[in-house]
Amino acid sequence: MAEHWTDRAQRVMKVKGYENTDVASRLGITEGAVSRLLNDIGEPSFVQLEEIAKMLDMSLSELIGEDAIFVSDKQQIRAVELMQDIGQDRRDLAL
């Protein structure tokens, strides 16, 4: 199973001696919000991921991995799936 970005972030945080409070301060959010992000309960914004990567001296691709799909990508994939499920006449109406 592929390592999730939260696993990579927590591993590097431990090595560098960072706590959730340090990340919270950097992102301008609560420690509870950081905990939710790192426990994969919430979805971080792109800006938050960039800031976490900078803080941990990692590139964004190192942090999130090359296979990451952002919410907007998921929405586009879902839209294509929906378009494939409807008939051509309805597809023309949707466009």
Query: For the chain, what are the domain ranges?
Result: 1-64, 66-95
pLDDT the model gives residue 29: 96
The closest of 67, 23, 73 to 48, measured between CA atoms, is: 23
Per CATH, the homologous superfamily of domain 1-64 is lambda repressor-like DNA-binding domains (1.10.260.40)
Distance CA 19, CA 13 (A): 7
pLDDT the model gives residue 52: 96
- For the chain (95 residues), the mean pLDDT of every run of 10, in chain order, is 86 96 96 94 90 95 73 61 68 61
pLDDT the model gives residue 85: 72
CA dihedral sign of residues 51, 74, 1, 42: positive
pLDDT the model gives residue 71: 53
pLDDT the model gives residue 28: 96
